[in-house]
Structure 1
Amino acid sequence: MIVAIHEVTQDRRWRYYLCLLITLFAKNAQALFGLGLGLYAFTKGRYLRGLISIVISIFWWFLATHLSSAGGDHVAMRLGYLGDTKLEMLATLLVRPWIVFSVASPESIFLYTLGLSLPFLALLRKPALACLLGAAPVYLVNVISDSGIQRELNHHYSIPVLAFLIAGCLDSLPLISVKARRIQKNVFNATLVLSMVAFLGYSRVMYFKSRYLPRLPEAVAFQSVVSGIGSQESVLASSNYVVHLAGREKISQVEKEDYKVKWPFDVIIFPSEKALINVRGRLKEVGKTKIGRTMNQVLERAKASGMSCSQPNDYVRLCRKGAG
């Protein structure tokens, strides 16, 4: 992303478009980065390149959304409170922009914005305004999303914004006096301090103790089982497992009701009742949660339909079709 931003003002084209395409291929939402890149190109006087970038990004959005439609409409899931159609959503934002505060409080928006910009404040100068415009599409969607994790910096949603902020710092460097070493040193020290403050305040370091490390044995146990599941087999899994089994024609997660219409499956894989699951920021045993009870019902149905079910280790439960 940073190379693509840098290449906007260069005469060569292949490196720019290659980096743009590689970025877009990461996921359909990266079309927002492409739109921002187009806006950045406009501010730099590269109007044709900006227009082509926007057209490519819009085309990618429709293509990738169609290809990933089996996973659901992510726009409706995260912006559905604005309206039933894309046009309705835009109209609501224009007529009643304050509705955003029903899903994102002003304090959360302020803290999110502060956390994003804090490490870069000492370096940003007027030339960075073009990069801030480029970051606007991703930033604004994160702000208005019904999904709070898009405003948490320990997730990936803000990476395109960070790329533009870094590019903004690079654009600003010529205005920081190279002769005044004292100024350079002060800027360096301020950036170091602000970066450490932002990291400690926003990186959720304590999650390693409360969420990640306690589930490490389960992760190892899961990987020892998942290696035996073929790429052509249809799978029903929990939300934490399903992302590691993607890329197949038929896959569902038990948290979504649509798995019922896709039944039967070749493989069902769930965490054991004693395994830990993240519920509203706290780890609980699967057997003591609502989704755990749903998993038990699914496994009973699987056994009744003739699937062979077992618990290969302390953390994972597995059912297979036609195994005996």
Structure 2
Amino acid sequence: MKNFFAKYNNIITYILISFFLLFIASSFRHILFNSHAFDLGIFDNGIYLISQGKNPYVSFRELHILGDHAAWILYFIAPFYFLFPSVYWLFFIQSLASAIALIPIWKLSKLNNLSDSKAKTICLIYILYPLIFNVNLFDFHPEVITLPLFFIAILAVKLDKIIWFIVSILLILGCKAVLALNVVMMGVWLILIYRKKNYGAFAIFSGIFWFIIATQLIIPAFSGEEAAAVSRYAFLGDSVSEIALNLIIKPQIILSHLFTLANAEYLLLLFLPVIPVLAWQEIPNLIPAIPTLFLNLLTEYQPQKDLVHQYSLPIIPFLIFTIIASLAHHKTWFYQNTKIRIWSLILFLALAKYVYFFPNGLYLKNLHTWKASNEAISLINTSKSVFTAPQFAPHLTHRLTLDLAIDSIDYNQVNKFHYVLLNLDNPTGYSSQEDIKNLINFLEKNREFQLKYNQDNIFLFEKIK
């Protein structure tokens, strides 16, 4: 341990500050009832059920947790829930993964003969990249765990540590099925650019193998349908195989979806924070990021074209490595540490969503119902079934059955639940206030339910028959 602190003394402070800020921000967002059933509730519910030795069937998602993205890494998180079931484990793991990526970033910088001050600057570029902060706010996603893993995989190649590389790649594949495409292209990159045939061959083979197994066997078997994101590319087909075929035989469709104003804005957002430190000669280092970039450009689904959601995460490790190579081998537009750090800070201040915590910000808009929401939730003191609003779901997912008051509400289904917790003040965008008001009227007239709590437009009903 002493050797570790001595070796990475220069960035220990960065790691600790980053971790605590990310953990506090994501936890505070959750405490303020701004986390969501999609996606925090899904993962929390699935992992909790695994930890209890139960079938991890997420009732409000209507599928087994493996039917979502074949993310078997979630089974590795379950032991923490067995010790103490808490959603805060997910915030802890996500924040820690983002922060400890600084260790391999530092090591890669030093292997490229960069000075300590330049290596620190690269660490700051990474931690101030707006997506790192923003994605930690947006619930929990297992692909955040791949941030240090991708860097470790690159480092393993540089140090010729084949076991490190294999373990890193296997863990990456376990975080999300689509990451197999990045792993395949990482293999191509290692063979073409760095002549690392053994490493590249393993990445290509394992990536192709897992992508086929996950998309054609595991996800359909556990969900009864194609992978969830397939619908975002419906103009190319209704299945992964059909989409893959049409990508080859219908290039005209692809081009019409790539060259759009929305994509130009996305590329500007993605590269603006780092453009002054990129050398065009090092752009081939972005080859492993091509699948993510291509999928994000191809779809019309807006969350895949911003720096808020998780969809651009696989680009980050290779973007940072490209920066390392650029600063090590070329005179970039910005080369002085002070200029680079100021630029990174300016772009962080401009694009990071810390402003959501400001007075009148997005995360404080429910503050007037915060006390009532907590009181109502505290009255749900059993693990019986709950029907509730999406923002309450992550606070109630440690149970077998939970469903959401969204879309077209089936009153017959509502009758099957023991508790119904509703937010008339802010029903979220999935349901209107009129929908929730009608449901409340129905429950008030229903002899099977009694109103247990009503304050500040927060309603809790409990079944009495």
Q: Using structure 2 for the length normalisation, give the TM-score.
A: 0.54
Residue 266 (structure 2) pairs with residue 97 (structure 1):
no
Encode CA deviations 1:228-275: one digit per residue, 9 max, x unaligned: 54785333223333344446543332224486785522332221x2x3
Amino acid at match of 1:269: L
Cα pair 1:128 1:168 within 8 Å, conserved:
yes
C-alpha distance 82-206 of structure 1, shift in aligned 2 (>3 A): farther
Who is 1:4 aligned against?
153
Residue 204 (structure 2) pairs with residue 51 (structure 1):
yes
Who is 2:335 aligned against?
186
Distance in structure 2 (CA, Å) of the matches to 1:71 and 1:218: 39
Who is 1:265 aligned against?
417
Who is 2:116 aligned against?
none
Q: Which stretch shows the higher mean deviation, 28-37 or 114-123?
A: 28-37
Measured after TM superposition, the shift of residue 70 of structure 1 is 8.3
Cα pair 2:427 2:433 within 8 Å, conserved:
no
**1:190-205 alignment, distance < 5 Å:** 190-204=339-353
If asked which structure has higher relative contact order (CA below 8 Å, sep 6+), I would say 2
Who is 1:282 aligned against?
none
Cα pair 2:419 2:460 within 8 Å, conserved:
yes
Cα pair 1:236 1:259 within 8 Å, conserved:
no
Distance in structure 2 (CA, Å) of the matches to 1:69 and 1:51: 27
Distance in structure 2 (CA, Å) of the matches to 1:220 and 1:191: 44
Amino acid at match of 1:291: S
Residue 374 (structure 2) pairs with residue 233 (structure 1):
no
Cα pair 1:82 1:92 within 8 Å, conserved:
yes
Distance in structure 2 (CA, Å) of the matches to 1:35 and 1:315: 51
Residue 283 (structure 2) pairs with residue 142 (structure 1):
no
C-alpha distance 317-123 of structure 1, shift in aligned 2 (>3 A): same
Measured after TM superposition, the shift of residue 10 of structure 1 is 3.9
Residue 313 (structure 2) pairs with residue 159 (structure 1):
yes
C-alpha distance 93-191 of structure 1, shift in aligned 2 (>3 A): farther
Distance in structure 2 (CA, Å) of the matches to 1:217 and 1:4: 47
Q: Which stretch shows the higher mean deviation, 12-21 or 61-70?
A: 61-70
Distance in structure 1 (CA, Å) of the matches to 2:304 and 2:390: 18
Aligned alpha-carbon RMSD (Å): 3.8
Who is 1:132 aligned against?
286
Measured after TM superposition, the shift of residue 63 of structure 1 is 6.6
Distance in structure 1 (CA, Å) of the matches to 2:233 and 2:398: 26
State the secondary structure of the residue aligned to 2:276.
coil
Residue 363 (structure 2) pairs with residue 212 (structure 1):
yes
Encode CA deviations 1:273-294: one digit per residue, 9 max, x unaligned: 2x34665xxxxxxxxx952222
Distance in structure 1 (CA, Å) of the matches to 2:439 and 2:226: 22
Cα pair 1:78 1:147 within 8 Å, conserved:
yes
Percent of residue pairs identical: 20
State the secondary structure of the residue aligned to 1:269.
strand
State the secondary structure of the residue aligned to 1:309.
strand
Q: Which runs of 5+ in 1 are unaligned?
A: 178-182, 280-288
Measured after TM superposition, the shift of residue 90 of structure 1 is 3.7
State the secondary structure of the residue aligned to 2:438.
helix
Measured after TM superposition, the shift of residue 165 of structure 1 is 0.7
Encode CA deviations 1:133-156: one digit per residue, 9 max, x unaligned: 111112222222332122121222
Distance in structure 1 (CA, Å) of the matches to 2:411 and 2:285: 46
Q: Which runs of 5+ in 2 are unaligned?
A: 1-146
Cα pair 1:122 1:187 within 8 Å, conserved:
no
State the secondary structure of the residue aligned to 1:311.
strand
Amino acid at match of 2:461: C
State the secondary structure of the residue aligned to 1:252.
strand
Who is 1:180 aligned against?
none
Amino acid at match of 1:241: F
Residue 234 (structure 2) pairs with residue 83 (structure 1):
no
Who is 2:322 aligned against?
168
Distance in structure 1 (CA, Å) of the matches to 2:180 and 2:287: 15
C-alpha distance 185-76 of structure 1, shift in aligned 2 (>3 A): closer
